[in-house]
Structure 1
Amino acid sequence: MRQIKVTVPYPGFRVRYFYIVTTLLNAAHYPAEELADLYSQRWDVELFFRDVKTTMGMDVLRCKTPDMVRKEILMHFIADNCIRRLMLDAVKAADLAVRVVSFKGSLQALRNSEPHLNQRRLNRIERSRLIADLHEAITDTPIRQRPGRSEPRCRKRRPKNYELMTRPRHEMKEAPHRNRYRAETI
Structure 2
Amino acid sequence: MRVIEYRLPDVQDGKDELYRLVTTILDPARASAKDLAILYHERWDIEGFLKQIKSVQLNADRIFRSKSPDGVRQEFWAHLAVHYATMRVTTDAADQAKLDPDRISHKNTVRVIRSRIWIPGSFPPDQA
> What letter is aligned with 2:36?
L
Give 1:28-43 correspondences, 5 Å limit. Answer: 31-43=32-44
Bigger Rg over Cα? 1
Q: Could you say which residue in structure 2 is the equivalent of 1:49?
A: 50
CA distance in structure 1 between the partners assigned to 2:57 and 2:32 by the alignment: 37
CA distance in structure 2 between the partners assigned to 1:80 and 1:69 by the alignment: 16
Unaligned runs of 5+ in 1: 10-15, 119-126, 132-186
C-alpha RMSD of the superposition: 2.8
Give 1:79-118 correspondences, 5 Å limit. Answer: 79-116=82-119, 118=120
Between the aligned residues of both structures, percent identity stands at: 25
Q: Secondary structure at the match of 2:3?
A: strand
Q: Measured at CA, do residues 52 and 23 of structure 1 come closer, stay the same or move farther in structure 2, by a change above 3 Å?
A: farther
Q: Could you say which residue in structure 2 is the equivalent of 1:172?
A: none
Q: Could you say which residue in structure 2 is the equivalent of 1:72?
A: 75
Q: Which of the residues 19, 28, 47 maps onto 2:22?
A: 19
**TM-score relative to the length of structure 1:** 0.50
| Deviation >4 Å, runs of 4+ | none
Q: Is the 8 A contact 2:52 2:106 kept in 1?
A: yes
Q: Is the 8 A contact 2:21 2:37 kept in 1?
A: no
CA distance in structure 2 between the partners assigned to 1:109 and 1:99 by the alignment: 17
Displacement of 1:25 after TM fit?
3.9
**What is the number of residues matched between the two proteins?**
110
CA distance in structure 1 between the partners assigned to 2:50 and 2:64 by the alignment: 15
More strand by share: 2
